[in-house]
Amino acid sequence: MSLVRRPSPAAQWYLPGILAGMWFTFKKMLSNLFNQKKMPTLNYPEEKYQYGPRFKGNHVLTVKKDGSIRCTACMLCATNCPAQCIKITAAESNDPTVEKYPISYEIDILRCVFCGFCEEACPVDAIRMGPEWQTAGLNGAKFTYDIQHLAYRPQLKGGIVSVLDDQERHRAGI
Amino acid sequence: MPKIKINGKEVEVPQGSTVIQAFKAAGQDICHYCWHPGLSVAGVCRLCMVQIEGMPRLQIACNTEVKDGMVVNNTSEAVKETVRWGMDFHLINHPLDCPICDQAGECGLQEQYMQFGSYDPEMAEPKVKKHKVVDLGPTVVLDSERCILCSRCVRFTDEVSKTHELGIFNRGDRSEIGVVEGKPLDNNYSLNTVDICPVGALTSKDFRFRQRVWYLKDADSICPGCSTGCNVKVHYNEEGLWRVKPRYNPDVNGYWMCDSGRDTYKFVNVQTRLLAGKIGQRGSWAEKSPAEATRSVAQRLNEVVEQSGPDAVAVVVTGQYTNEEYADLFKFLVQDLKVKNIFHWLNNPEKTTEFDGLLLRGDLNPNTQGLEGAFKANVGKGNWEDLQVGLSGGKIKLALVFGPENQSSFPDIKEKVQMLSQAQSMVWFTACHSADLDEAGCETWQIPLKTYIEKSGSFTNFQGKVQTFKVGTTVVPQALTVSEVCELLAGRDLNWALRPKSLGGAKANYATTHRGAL
Amino acid sequence: MEVKLLSEHYEKPEFQKLEGYKKHGGYQVLSKALKMDPKAIIEEVKASGLRGRGGAGFPTGTKWSFLPANGEPRYLLCNADEGEPGTFKDRLMMERAPHQLIEGMLISAFAIGSKKSYIYIRGEYDYPIAVVRAAIGEAYKAGYLGKNILGSGFDHDMDVYAGAGAYICGEETGMISSLEGLKGQPKLKPPFPAIQGYLRKPTIVNNVETLAAVKYIIRDGAAAYRKYGTEKSAGTKLFSVSGNVVRPGNYEVPLGIPLKTLINDVCGGLRPGRQLKAVIPGGSSAPVLTAEESWKVTMDYEALAQMGSMLGSGAVIVIDDSNNMVDMLSVLMHFYHHESCGQCTPCREGTGWLNKIVHRILHGHGETKDLDLISKVAQQMMGKTICALSDAAAMPAISFVTKFRDEFESHIRKGGHTAQVRGAAHA
């Protein structure tokens, strides 16, 4: 038998609560109006919050020194991705020093949970979680990022160079 | 039959077996690379070390013959230490690039390192550099750095294919696999070397980089490529089929299969398949669901039989369907409809008795024997000349064709389409779409059928051996089997609720299509 | 101390030719042997206590008796692929007395019932190959080879096969592979060559010196041969002495001679003002002996085995204090790395690994823990492979770093060669 507890009679007097709430809001409005520097909120989008350098934002595919894509299409990120938002198609490279490279690399950013597992799985520092976080777009915007966007979007200014270099590793005998 | 004790477990093995075979028989794990049950013993990886009571030194299990009363173990500390170091010796010059190696996930080194290795490597020297991406021939690519020189591939070309293309060149840790005198590795069994390669040194050009193996599932099946009926495993994922590999069966194919058999996954994929029933003729086709299209065939069939009798119907059958399908088909045609004009379409009659000496047979149908049996049990095989006469004389009004499933082994499709177009109308039951068929000059139905991997049944191979197989996966769920076609033609309905779900085929981004409630 | 049994007439140039050889009693033992029962010859060789002179020291008569007693064709192979660094006795024997070898081989072939034999000579031995070829030609002309030799009804053919210079072809199964036209790689044993060897037929492989010695055993009888040497190591042996002695060269001495006598009396001692540092007593694959050990040891199979070394092919490499042991080991490791056939993994990878570590130490990039690693790696290479090359590489590595650890450590501390030592090593 389900029991319905009715609110006590005192609680049915809602008017004092509403008035108290309104008074609080009015007080804050006045104090913010005359004391704008102490205001805790930001005027987004004119003002933007600066996150720390380790913030996990939109993905970046790094490049080699010659500007080509660093990714080796090993698909460890795609395997590790809990949201299954990464889709890679590998192909044989024409460059004899490169065995395999991604002919397409797509991330469905709407599906991504920004966990950073892809970054952790990557053996060659080919994918990083960048500082960008404003993913919003208008209706019909493309939320499946391709290589062009992930590695060479204008914000990256020609691409971010990976810390792992095949030539150097080859010389070191690894 | 000598009795031998392995790790405390007693096992009886045939006279003349080696200790490693006894280990396999006893179900005990033993580390090894170069030993392969289908090849001669090389004894070079030195990993199958065992301790035999009464012998001062450790022995390799692959080259030690079993003697009665032998007591063997590979669990003592001495053996474990030796195997660990043996593993280390294999790995010191092996590149650590598992992520880009195509073998990762099904690699002998990875598996056995985890099981028998797990040591801290002390190698601090530069690794030996060798050739990478060496083109060995039309099907196989070699990466010498990944090669552990187990010599399995060399022994395969020497002993099984007997083509002797491969050899080990140079000495010591500069040794590399290569082709002898520049003659490429080009034989119809070359891809077996990829299968037996325990590492990622030999990779198949057809499969290389197309999928990571851990995305694939496998299903047992029978190769439909020829009348040998090799036992195979078909590897697939939600995008379709990716490769075919041999499955051990000592009575049929041993450990091997031919390269042309490995291509039999290609026609199953959704790109080549007929996805809906098509009705019309050259230039004007209307699509209908397979079941609906078949029902309209049934209607026409009944009309023809009522108006001109069962002799106005000609049926052409290929040897590509299962025994069960043939039984249903012949029961429907012969017993229910009383059709007498049934013809056997043999793709290459002059080559059917050919044999390449190993596996591949000239008869490129998996179930010619089964079809012959069905003919024998029901009605005599029709004569093609009679069919020609009947067609040109206008006697035959409707032709039902249970055409090829694997069109690549039927070079005469165009010819047959032209010949059968002389009838008023024809019905093609086939798995794949065909440009020749789209050019048909009479009223034609194209009804999609299922392929071998999508149905259960049995094939009778050239020896008369009946091999059953089960549904592996479903690529085109709406396609019908011949048995289902018979049901529909007889005016009955199918239980659509039992249909499996589609694999879907390749999509731009698999994840985006399954977004759910986002 | 020298005993001239095999090498009695080596100084005479005429001994090389058939005429000169016959003048000194050539082919008389053959005619004696052909009248004997083959089994009696084998028994005589067994009784003589002759052991293989190539390196392993396996009793020759016993090896012969492993042959199956059926009518299968069988082969006799003479191993003249003298590849062991430091060894040069077979070259001398073939250059100076090719007929002595041919006669010894004919007697042995008669004993084991072989109708065909090959002399496998390493490819670099241009001159010995020419000499032996010429001698075989002479022997055919004189009727010592071919059909019905000396009217006994015994047929025998002999051929010379020039190898291509691989060390591993000195291993008997490696040699058989090479002779068959395959890559010179040892074969898996079992089956042993005496059961399935050349062309899968029973095969006996013996060293030049072993086969030549058979002649003298038959000539003088087993008992006379046993007069030389010790109980278990009977007979005489040619030692190739090289390194820092006054008179390096080949010397035939009875087995069991003290190494001190060999160095000081036979070879004229060390160069003035030098101290003995080490001796490699049996070719480069034998573990090295320190100076103290060297002065104590006698040169026979047992005494050396007791010292943890081996007699091997009888190549005595004398090392005095002008040499750097790191340098010596690096040369050896380079050799074994170069010569490993690449078949078995522990040897293929292990020799390369050892070579890299030792060279790193040599060039001053070593650490003390590398010495332990060398021992560990070498230990794991021993007894794990098809043939003994892996052991041959591992044994000197272990003995060098354990017996001369101080020197290795000081080399590591100094950070490589000082100019002085480097110069001295190549003086």
3-class DSSP string for B59-97: EEHHHCECCCCEEEECCCHHHHHHHHHHHHHHHCCCCCC
CA end-to-end distance (rounded Å), chain C = 30
* A85 residue type, one letter: C
Residues C96-129 have pLDDT tens digits of 999 999 999 999 999 999 999 999 999 999 999 9
Full DSSP string of B146-193: G-----HHHHHHHHTS----EEEESSGGG-EEEEGGG----STTTHHH
Residue B325 has a pLDDT of 95
In contact, C283 and C315? CB cutoff 8 Å: yes
Q: Comparing C-alpha atoms, which of B477, B444, B503 is closest to residue B291?
A: B477
Report the C-alpha gap between B457 and B450 in whole angstroms: 12
Report the C-alpha gap between C134 and C126 in whole angstroms: 12
More confidently predicted of B134 and A10: B134
Report the C-alpha gap between B12 and B26 in whole angstroms: 9
pLDDT at C77 over 90: yes
Residues A53-106 have pLDDT tens digits of 889 999 999 999 999 999 999 999 999 999 989 999 999 888 888 889 999 999
Residues C143-189 have pLDDT tens digits of 999 999 999 999 999 999 999 889 999 999 999 999 999 999 999 98
Q: Give the A-side interface with B, CB within 8 Å.
A: 72-76, 79, 83-87, 90-92, 96, 99-100, 106, 108, 110-111, 123-124, 144, 170, 172-174
- In angstroms, the separation between the Cα of residue A169 and the nearest Cα of chain B is 10
Report the C-alpha gap between B199 and B193 in whole angstroms: 11
Report the C-alpha gap between C423 and C427 in whole angstroms: 6
If pLDDT is split at 50, 70 and 90, which confidence band does C61 have? Answer: very high
Mean of pLDDT values over C63-68: 93
Mean of pLDDT values over C347-364: 95
Report the C-alpha gap between B94 and B128 in whole angstroms: 9
CB contact under 8 A, B511 and A111: yes
Q: Which residues of A touch B210 (CB under 8 A)?
A: 90
B366 touches chain C (CB under 8 A): no
User: Chain A: residue nearest B123 by CA?
Assistant: A174
Residue A151 has a pLDDT of 93
Residues B46-56 have pLDDT tens digits of 999 999 999 99
Q: For residue C87, what are its two tokens?
A: 């060894």
Q: Give the B-side interface with A, CB within 8 Å.
A: 96, 99-100, 125-127, 129, 132-133, 143, 208-210, 212, 214-215, 508-512, 515, 518
Q: For residue A173, what are its two tokens?
A: 């005998």
Q: Which of B63, B168, B172 sits opposite C340 (nearest CB)?
A: B172
Residue B508 has a pLDDT of 45
- In angstroms, the separation between the Cα of residue A144 and the nearest Cα of chain B is 8
Burial C183-206 (b: 16+ CB within 10 A, else e): bbbbbbeeeebbbbbbeebbbbbb
| Strand boundaries in B449-497, DSSP class E | 457-460, 466-469
Q: For residue C350, what are its two tokens?
A: 């292990």
Residues C357-416 have pLDDT tens digits of 999 999 999 999 999 999 999 999 999 999 999 999 999 999 999 999 999 999 999 887
* C151 residue type, one letter: G
Q: Which residue has the tokens 């590591």?
A: C412
If pLDDT is split at 50, 70 and 90, which confidence band does B510 have? Answer: very low
Number of other residues whose CB lies within 10 A of the CB of residue A164: 15
| Pairing mode, strands B443-448 and B277-281 | antiparallel
* A145 residue type, one letter: Y
Residues B18-64 have pLDDT tens digits of 999 999 999 999 999 999 999 999 999 999 999 999 999 999 999 99
Mean of pLDDT values over C257-284: 94
Q: Which of C348, C376, C380 sits opposite B172 (nearest CB)?
A: C348
| Strand boundaries in C285-423, DSSP class E | 289-290, 298-299, 315-320
Number of other residues whose CB lies within 10 A of the CB of residue A29: 10
Q: For residue B227, what are its two tokens?
A: 């009348």
In contact, C391 and C383? CB cutoff 8 Å: yes
pLDDT at A2 over 80: no
Mutate to test the interface with B, among C182, C333, C345 (most CBs of B within 10 A): C345
User: Chain C: residue nearest B41 by CA?
Assistant: C188
Report the C-alpha gap between C371 and C169 in whole angstroms: 31
Burial A108-144 (b: 16+ CB within 10 A, else e): bbebbebeebbbebbebbbbbbbbeeeeeeeeeeeeb
Q: What is the mean pLDDT of chain A?
A: 88
Instruction: Tell me which chains share at least 3 CB pairs under 8 Å with chain B.
Output: A, C
- In angstroms, the separation between the Cα of residue B178 and the nearest Cα of chain A is 18
Q: Which of B63, B82, B128 sits opposite C380 (nearest CB)?
A: B82
Q: Phi then psi for C142, rounded to 5 degrees?
A: -85, 0
If pLDDT is split at 50, 70 and 90, which confidence band does A174 have? Answer: low
Q: Which residues of B touch C169 (CB under 8 A)?
A: none
Q: What is the mean pLDDT of chain B?
A: 91
Give the percent of chain B with pLDDT over 90: 78
Full DSSP string of B491-514: T----GGGPPPP-----S-GGGGG
Q: For residue C390, what are its two tokens?
A: 């892996």
Residue C423 has a pLDDT of 41
If pLDDT is split at 50, 70 and 90, which confidence band does B504 have? Answer: low
Report the C-alpha gap between B389 and B383 in whole angstroms: 10
Residues C194-227 have pLDDT tens digits of 999 999 999 999 999 999 999 999 999 999 999 9
Q: What is the mean pLDDT of chain C?
A: 93
Q: Phi then psi for C425, rounded to 5 degrees?
A: -65, -25
More confidently predicted of A38 and B236: B236
B42 touches chain C (CB under 8 A): yes
Residue B162 has a pLDDT of 94
Q: For residue A157, what are its two tokens?
A: 């200014």
Q: For residue C242, what are its two tokens?
A: 């090289």
C308 touches chain B (CB under 8 A): no
pLDDT at B505 over 70: no
Contacts of A52 (CB under 8 A, 6+ apart): none
How far from the centroid of its chain's Cα atoms is residue A75's Cα? 20
Give the CA diameter of chain B: 90
CB contact under 8 A, A99 and B100: yes
Q: Which residues of B touch A126 (CB under 8 A)?
A: none
Helix, strand, coil % over all residues of chain B, rounded to 5: 35, 20, 45
Q: Which of A72, A87, A100 sits opposite B511 (nearest CB)?
A: A87
- Count how many Cα atoms sit within 13 Å of the Cα of residue C88 in the half-sphere of its side chain: 12
In contact, C360 and C366? CB cutoff 8 Å: yes
If pLDDT is split at 50, 70 and 90, which confidence band does B334 have? Answer: very high
C177 touches chain B (CB under 8 A): no
C339 touches chain B (CB under 8 A): yes
Report the C-alpha gap between C89 and C95 in whole angstroms: 10
Report the C-alpha gap between C197 and C177 in whole angstroms: 9
Q: Which of B42, B82, B173 sits opposite C342 (nearest CB)?
A: B173
Q: For residue B122, what are its two tokens?
A: 């002390």
Number of other residues whose CB lies within 10 A of the CB of residue C327: 18
Query: Rounded to the nearest 10 degrees, how much is the dihedral formed by the CA atoms of B8, B9, B10, B11?
Result: -140
Report the C-alpha gap between B112 and A42 in whole angstroms: 58
Mean of pLDDT values over A30-48: 86
Q: Comparing C-alpha atoms, which of C247, C241, C296 is closest to residue C271?
A: C247
Query: Rounded to the nearest 10 degrees, how much is the dihedral formed by the CA atoms of C342, C345, C348, C352?
Result: 160
Q: Comparing C-alpha atoms, which of B439, B413, B433 is closest to residue B271?
A: B433
Report the C-alpha gap between B323 and B482 in whole angstroms: 11
Mean of pLDDT values over B364-388: 90
pLDDT at A1 over 70: no
Q: Which residues of A touch B214 (CB under 8 A)?
A: 79
Contact residues, B window 177-216, toward C, CB-based 8 Å cutoff: none
Residue A167 has a pLDDT of 81
Q: For residue C343, what are its two tokens?
A: 């078949």
Q: Which of B47, B82, B92 sits opposite C353 (nearest CB)?
A: B92
Report the C-alpha gap between B173 and B153 in whole angstroms: 18
Of B194-203, B296-305, C412-421, the range with the lowest mean pLDDT is C412-421
In contact, B262 and B477? CB cutoff 8 Å: no
Report the C-alpha gap between C85 and C118 in whole angstroms: 23
Contacts of B5 (CB under 8 A, 6+ apart): B11, B70, B71, B72
- In angstroms, the separation between the Cα of residue B57 and the nearest Cα of chain C is 7
- In angstroms, the separation between the Cα of residue A106 and the nearest Cα of chain B is 7
Whole-number Cα distances in Å, B237 to B211, B265, B460, C215: 9, 12, 28, 75
Q: Which of B100, B212, B508 sits opposite A79 (nearest CB)?
A: B212
Q: Which of B127, B143, B509 sits opposite A108 (nearest CB)?
A: B509
Q: Which of A91, A99, A172 sits opposite B132 (nearest CB)?
A: A99
Q: What is the pTM of this model?
A: 0.90
Mean of pLDDT values over B8-27: 94
Query: Rounded to the nearest 10 degrees, how much is the dihedral formed by the CA atoms of B340, B346, B351, B352?
Result: -70
Q: Which residues of B touch A84 (CB under 8 A)?
A: 510-511
What angle is formed at CA B498 by the lines to CA B494 and CA B501, rounded to 5 degrees? Answer: 120
Report the sign of the C-alpha dihedral through residues C42, C45, C51, C52, in that order: negative
* A41 residue type, one letter: T
Residue A14 has a pLDDT of 84
Q: Which residues of B touch A87 (CB under 8 A)?
A: 508-511
- In angstroms, the separation between the Cα of residue B290 and the nearest Cα of chain C is 60
If pLDDT is split at 50, 70 and 90, which confidence band does A43 have? Answer: confident
User: Chain B: residue nearest A110 by CA?
Assistant: B518
Contacts of B187 (CB under 8 A, 6+ apart): B157, B161, B163, B165, B259
Residues A107-133 have pLDDT tens digits of 998 889 999 999 999 999 999 998 888
